Structure 1
C-alpha cells in the first residue's frame, strides 16, 4: 500500500516521510496535514476534502482519515463547522509567516483624469453579449482552431467595410492584420524595419512614452519631429534619415491639433520620394465634435501609409483589439512577424466585434459615446471659463482629452502633478509626453493633459471640482 498511497488528490499529501519514521497511517496523515498547514501550503480557510473523498484518494480506511481530522481539530490545526465541512483553522500563532511590511502610500486616487482612456462604465455589455451569442451560434467549427495569423476573415471583412465608410481607408481584408492593440502592431512594424536594416524612425516630439519605448526596444533610433499649431513638421522629414514616420494626423497626441493639409501632403510626398513609410496612428479618429472627422491620411497613398486603428478608445483597452491596414509589400513580412509573436489573436473576441460592427451596434455605441464625450468636453471648457478663466483649453474639439495651458506664475508641471496626487487626482503633464530624444525643451507655459472621458458619469463633476482647485493653486 505504501508504494501507491502517497498523494491525497489536490492536497498532494506525502505520507512516505512519516511512514519511513515508523509512524502508522493515521499518524503519518496527521503529520503530513500538520506540515502542510505549518508551511502555509494549505492556507487558512482552505476547505479540505471530506473523509470519504480523501480516504478514496489515499486508498486507506475512511475511519483513519476521520480520526486524523478529529485529532487535528482538537489540536487547533483544523476547524469543523456544521454544513461547511473541515477547513484549515485561523490559528494566528507566532509560527505563521510574518505579515509583509506595507510601503507608505500617498493619498488614494479618487478622480482618474489620465488621457487615452474611455469611460469603462460605458462599455456596451448587453450589446457585446448579444453579439457574442450570435457570433458563437453561427461560427464554423474551424474558427476555433489555428486560423489565419492575419485574423478571422469575418472581422477583416467587417473592418474593411467600416474603415472605408467611416474613415475613408482604402484597403481590403487581405491587407488587414488583427493584433493585440496598437502597441503590438507598432512592434511588428518595427521588427520588419529592423530586419530590413532600417535604423531610424521619426516620431512627433510629443507623444506617448510607451510608443517610444517600443521603438527603442526594437533597436531602432527615435528621431523627433518638432510640432507647432499646424501639427508635425513633416516638411523636415527629408533631413531626418528616417525610414518611417509615426504620426497622429487626425488629432495629435497630446497637443490636440490636426495635421494641416499641406503637411499631410508633404508626409506622403516624402514617403514616395524616399521609399519611406508613414505609420498613421488613428487612435481616436472617430471622435470629432465640431465637424465631420478628417479622412484618414492613408487614403492619399495606401502603398506608402500604414493605417493603425484600435478598439481601445471606442470600446475598452482590455479587449486588446487593434488592426493594421498594410501596403501590399508589407503584408507578408508583418504576417511573418505576427506568427513569431503569437500566431493568432483570440478568436471569440474577433467574431464578436465582427458581429457588433455588421449588426450596426458598434456604430450606435460610437454615436452615443461621441455625444457623451462632446458634452463632457463642453462642460470642462464651461467650468474652467467660469471658475478659472485664466486657464486656456487648447486643441481641436475632438478625442478623449484636452490640454490645459496655465497662466504665467503658475506652479511648474512636476509640482502640479504632485499637488494633484494630494487632491486625489491622477493626471499627466505635457512634459511627461515629451520624446527624450528631443533634447532640451523650449520654454512654454505649464500645461496639463486632462482625460475628460475617463471618469464615470457619477464622478465627473467631483473630478472637475478637484481640477479647478488644482489649477487655482
Structure 2
C-alpha cells in the first residue's frame, strides 16, 4: 500500500490530498517510472475512504500526466518524458506543520531534472573521499567550478584559491564576523532575519538601517550587511549612487561590506545586476548560496572574502576543521560540471517569469508592490488589518503567508511577502484566491 495519510480535518478535499501525496511520492523518488499503483478499490479500503475519492485523485493525476493507465493492467507512474513540469519540488519542512508556506526562499525545481540530482549522488557513492580532513578552503575542483561560474554569471573574476566553500550564507557570515575586529554591524531594516540572528549570536550589536536609504556613515561599525541585487524582502535594486556611497562609507570607517547575493540569477525583467564585489574586492565580502538554485537543505554556499580577511578565516577553519561535508561538495561539483545547475536556473527563471505577473495581476487591485518583479517572491504593501486578514484567509486554505512586519525591527512597514517558488501552479492559484479574498474582505 502507499505510505499516505489523509486528514479529514483539513479544508483541502480528500481527493486533492491524495493526488498531492502521490505527486510527492513521485518527486521524492519513493515511486518511480513504471511503478504500479494500488487499484482504486484496494487503496480506498486501505485509507478508509470511498472508492470515488481514489478514482477522482487518479483521474486528476492522469489529466496532469503523472500517471498512465494500461488496459487490463492498472494505473502506473508515467514515463519520465511525460511527467508534467508543474510538480512541486522536494520541500523542506514548513515552519507550521500542515501548511504550505509561501516563503521567499524555497525554489522551484523542474521534476524532469531529478535524474541529474540522483546521478550526482551516485557519483558520490563511488568516489574516493579525501585522506584525512579535507582542504579547509573547500574541495579544489569545486572552487574552480565556482570561480568559472562567478565570472560567467556575476562578472566577478576571482581565482579558485580566493573562494571558500561554506555551509550556506549564514555560515559564511558567521565566519566573516569571527575574523573582523570589534564593532557593530549595520543591517537593512526590514531585512534578512537569519542574518540579524547570526550577528547577534556572534555577540555584536545590530544597527538598524532603513532599507531604502543610502548608507553614508559606518562609524563604529565593523561591517554592513546588504542585499544590493534584490533587497530582501522589499525587492529593490540598490542604485549605483547608493552603491558608491556605501563603499565610500566603508572605506572611511575601515569597515567591510558583506554582499549577500542570494537570488541574483533569477532576474527576468532585465539582465542580472553585476555584483557589488566587482567594484571593490578589497572592501566587499561576497556571499553566494546554492539554496536558491539547487536545494536549501543541501546547505552549501561560498564566500569570497577581502584578502586581508581570507587567510585569517582559512587558518581558523584549519584548526577547527570548520568545512562543509565532503559528500555534499562532491555532489554540487557534479551538478555544476554536468550543467545541471544552469538547466535548473533557466527553467526556474521561466517559471518565475510566468508566475510573478499572475501574482501581480491578482494582488495589484488590493495592494502596492514594494519593488520590481524579480526572483521567486514579491512583496506587497498594505495596511495592517488587510494583511492580517489575508494571512488568516491563507491559513484557512492551508497556506502560511509571511507578513512583511515579521521582517521589520524598527521599520514601520506592513504587508505580505508572497513566495511562489516552492508551490505547484494549482497551489499558487488556490493561495492567491484565498489571499485576495482576505484583502478584499474589508
- TM-score bracket, shorter-length normalisation: 0.7 to 0.9
Q: What pairs up with 1:259-408 in 2 under 5 angstroms?
A: 259-339=238-318, 342-385=321-364, 389-406=365-382
2:385 aligns with 411
* Contact residue 312 and residue 320 of structure 1 kept, 8 A: yes
2:34 aligns with none
1:115 aligns with 2:104: yes
| Structure 1 spans left out of the alignment, 5+ residues | 1-106
* Contact residue 394 and residue 431 of structure 2 kept, 8 A: no
1:243 aligns with 2:222: yes
Distance 1:419 1:361, change over 3 A: closer
Deviation at 1:291, TM superposition (A): 0.8
Offset from partner CA, 1:23-46 (integer Å, 9 cap, x none): xxxxxxxxxxxxxxxxxxxxxxxx
Offset from partner CA, 1:76-121 (integer Å, 9 cap, x none): xxxxxxxxxxxxxxxxxxxxxxxxxxxxxxx974442122211367
State how far apart, in whole Å, the 1-side matches of 2:99 and 2:290 are. 26
The SS at the match of 1:330 is helix
Aligned partner of 2:399 among 393, 418, 425: 425
Give the TM-score normalised by the residue count of structure 2: 0.73
* Contact residue 366 and residue 436 of structure 2 kept, 8 A: no
Distance 1:340 1:413, change over 3 A: farther
Deviation at 1:314, TM superposition (A): 0.8
Offset from partner CA, 1:187-206 (integer Å, 9 cap, x none): 1111222xx3x120111011
1:155 aligns with 142
State how far apart, in whole Å, the 2-side matches of 1:129 and 1:424 are. 31
Distance 1:121 1:465, change over 3 A: farther
1:463 aligns with 2:431: yes
Q: What pairs up with 1:53-132 in 2 under 5 angstroms?
A: 109-119=98-108, 122=111, 124-132=113-121
Deviation at 1:319, TM superposition (A): 0.3
* Contact residue 413 and residue 431 of structure 1 kept, 8 A: no
State how far apart, in whole Å, the 2-side matches of 1:303 and 1:336 are. 19
1:472 aligns with 440
The SS at the match of 2:282 is coil
Deviation at 1:461, TM superposition (A): 1.6
The SS at the match of 1:114 is coil
Deviation at 1:123, TM superposition (A): 8.7
Aligned length: 346
Distance 1:340 1:464, change over 3 A: farther
Deviation at 1:460, TM superposition (A): 2.1
The SS at the match of 1:234 is coil
Give the TM-score normalised by the residue count of structure 1: 0.68
Offset from partner CA, 1:219-250 (integer Å, 9 cap, x none): 1011111133xxx4222x34x42111000000
The SS at the match of 1:147 is coil
Deviation at 1:343, TM superposition (A): 3.0
Offset from partner CA, 1:362-417 (integer Å, 9 cap, x none): 111111111011111121112335xxx132233122111101123x6x61645653
Q: Rg larger in 1 or in 2? A: 1
State how far apart, in whole Å, the 2-side matches of 1:341 and 1:182 are. 19
Deviation at 1:273, TM superposition (A): 3.0
1:212 aligns with 2:196: yes
Deviation at 1:134, TM superposition (A): 4.7
CA RMSD of aligned residues (A): 2.3
Deviation at 1:421, TM superposition (A): 2.5
1:234 aligns with 215
* Contact residue 132 and residue 352 of structure 1 kept, 8 A: yes
State how far apart, in whole Å, the 2-side matches of 1:428 and 1:390 are. 17
Distance 1:123 1:261, change over 3 A: farther
Deviation at 1:159, TM superposition (A): 0.2
Deviation at 1:144, TM superposition (A): 5.7
Deviation at 1:320, TM superposition (A): 0.5
| Structure 2 spans left out of the alignment, 5+ residues | 1-95
Distance 1:124 1:144, change over 3 A: farther
Q: What pairs up with 1:414-453 in 2 under 5 angstroms?
A: 414=388, 416-435=390-409, 438=410, 441-442=411-412, 444=413, 446-453=414-421
The SS at the match of 1:223 is strand
Offset from partner CA, 1:165-202 (integer Å, 9 cap, x none): 10111321111111111111111111222xx3x12011
Deviates more, 1:116-125 or 1:291-300: 116-125
Deviation at 1:418, TM superposition (A): 4.3
